[in-house]
């Protein structure tokens, strides 16, 4: 495995790389390798598997009473009206 030295890195670029690495739970070295691999086409971005987290705050917040209320509504809607289907 080879190594590279990159000279002339602007301080603001170095700061941004460090911040991005911390936010991604990666080392700066791993982050730079990932960026380079992606840029030259060694890794592909997943095109149709985007994860969205805009509704995460809704999960796990129902009380048992709220859950039972909503579940009873769902169960009532799932009842088949035999008169309609005969």
Q: Output DSSP code: residue 43.
A: S
Q: Considering the domain boundaries, does residue 35 fall inside one?
A: yes
Dihedral sign from CA coordinates of 51, 55, 61, 64: negative
**Alpha carbon distance 6, 17 (integer Å):** 13
Q: Does residue 51 lie in a domain region?
A: no
Number of compact structural domains in the chain: 1
Which range of residues forms the domain containing residue 32?
A: 11-40
Would residue 33 count as lying in a domain? yes
Render pLDDT for 14-71 as a digit per residue (tens, 0 to 9): 999 999 999 999 999 999 999 999 899 898 777 788 788 898 887 877 889 998 999 9
Q: 22 lies in a domain?
A: yes
């Amino acid at each position: 495995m080879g190594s590279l030295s990159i000279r002339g890195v602007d301080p603001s670029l170095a700061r941004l790389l460090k911040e991005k690495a911390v936010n991604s739970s990666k080392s700066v070295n791993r982050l730079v390798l990932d960026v380079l691999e992606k840029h030259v086409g060694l890794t592909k971005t997943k095109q149709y598997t985007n994860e969205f987290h805009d509704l995460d705050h809704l999960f796990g917040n129902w009380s048992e009473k709220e859950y039972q209320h909503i579940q009873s509504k769902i169960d009532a809607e799932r009842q088949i009206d035999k008169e309609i289907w005969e």
